[in-house]
Amino acid sequence: MSEEILGRIEVAYKRDNLFNLVFTSKRIIVARLSSALLGLFETRKRQEEYGGTSAESILKADEMNFAIPYEEVVKVEMKRPSTFSRGKIKILAISKKFPDLPIAKIIIPVDVYEFTFKEEKNLFDERVNLVRSILPDKLSLT
C-alpha cells in the first residue's frame, strides 16, 4: 500500500523556523518550510513543492526534514490558542538516540518536539480532528 498524505499543519519552532507537520498513513513528517536563513521566495517555493509531491519526496527535500513513525508516538498534546497566544502542539516519541544504554530497557527515553501553530486560530478544531482521526488514543487536549 502506498503512503497517503492525510493532512498538514503549519507550525513554527523557535519563532523563525516554519515547518509543515505532514500526517501520512504511516507517520508524521516534519518538513522545514523556512528558517532565518531561507528567504520568503524559498518558503513559497517549498510550500508549492510539498503540496504536490509524495511523502518520501517531502522527507528527502531538506536535510532538516525527518519522520516520526506512528508506532513511536507516545502522546500528542495540543493546546488551544487564547486571545493573546497561539496554540501549541507537542509530540512525544520514543527516542532512538540511546538504544544500547541499559537504562533504556527500564525507562523508555522520549524525544519531545514542541511547535507553535502558525495558522489562523479558527483552524484549531479542524487540526484537532485531523490528529484525532489518526491517533485517537494518543491525543491530549489542554
Q: Which CATH number fits domain 5-141: 1.25.40.390, 2.30.29.30, 3.40.50.720, 3.30.70.360?
A: 2.30.29.30
Specify the pLDDT at position 91: 97
Which three-class secondary structure state does DSSP give residue 32?
strand
Average pLDDT score over the chain: 83
Q: Is the pLDDT of residue 71 over 90?
A: yes
Question: For 85, left (φ over 0), alpha (ψ -120 to 50), or beta?
Answer: beta
